[in-house]
Amino acid sequence: MTSMLIEKTADDLTRIALDGRLDLEGTQAIDRQFAFATSTQPLRLAVDLTGVSYVASIGLRTLLTAARAQAGRGGRMVLVGPSEMVRRVLVTTGVDTLIPIVEDWTGARDRLLAD
């Protein structure tokens, strides 16, 4: 079962850690909560993918929708630490050209706090 954890940091960043598979079932399990967390206000948002083992097209749509929502509200979003397989899907589909991918939390902080 896919799960998510939302954490607000002291420097006003938001980290959403996803765990599981972003396939149809996994995406449906988090869709409402994720959409609400990522689309209602501008954020400096890091979506942690280190616990994601698989991403399907529906999962890509969920990530892209969140990134669009943030861009439309003046927020920023990065993807953190995808596995090699998940990274390959993100690059092959061109998601990496729309949402920056960083290796770790330090990279996410640097990218999100940069002007």
Position 111: which residue type? Answer: R
Q: What is the pLDDT of residues 40-57, one digit of tens each?
A: 999 999 999 999 999 999
Q: Is the pLDDT of residue 115 over 80?
A: no
Domain boundaries, the chain: 3-113
As a whole number, the mean pLDDT across the chain is 96
CB atoms inside a 10 Å sphere around CB 15: 19
Q: What is the pLDDT of residues 62-83, one digit of tens each?
A: 999 999 999 999 999 999 999 9
Architecture of domain 3-113: 2-Layer Sandwich (3.30)
Where does 22-56 have alpha helices with state H? 24-39
| Dihedral sign computed on CA atoms, order 7, 13, 14, 15 | negative
Residue 59: partners with Cβ closer than 8 Å, 6 or more residues away: 21, 22, 23, 26, 27, 52
pLDDT band, residue 1 (cuts 50/70/90)? confident
**Nearest one of 89, 110, 96, 31 to 18, comparing CA atoms:** 31
pLDDT mean over 26-33: 95
CB atoms inside a 10 Å sphere around CB 47: 26
Model-wide pTM > 0.85: yes
Q: Is the pLDDT of residue 93 over 90?
A: yes
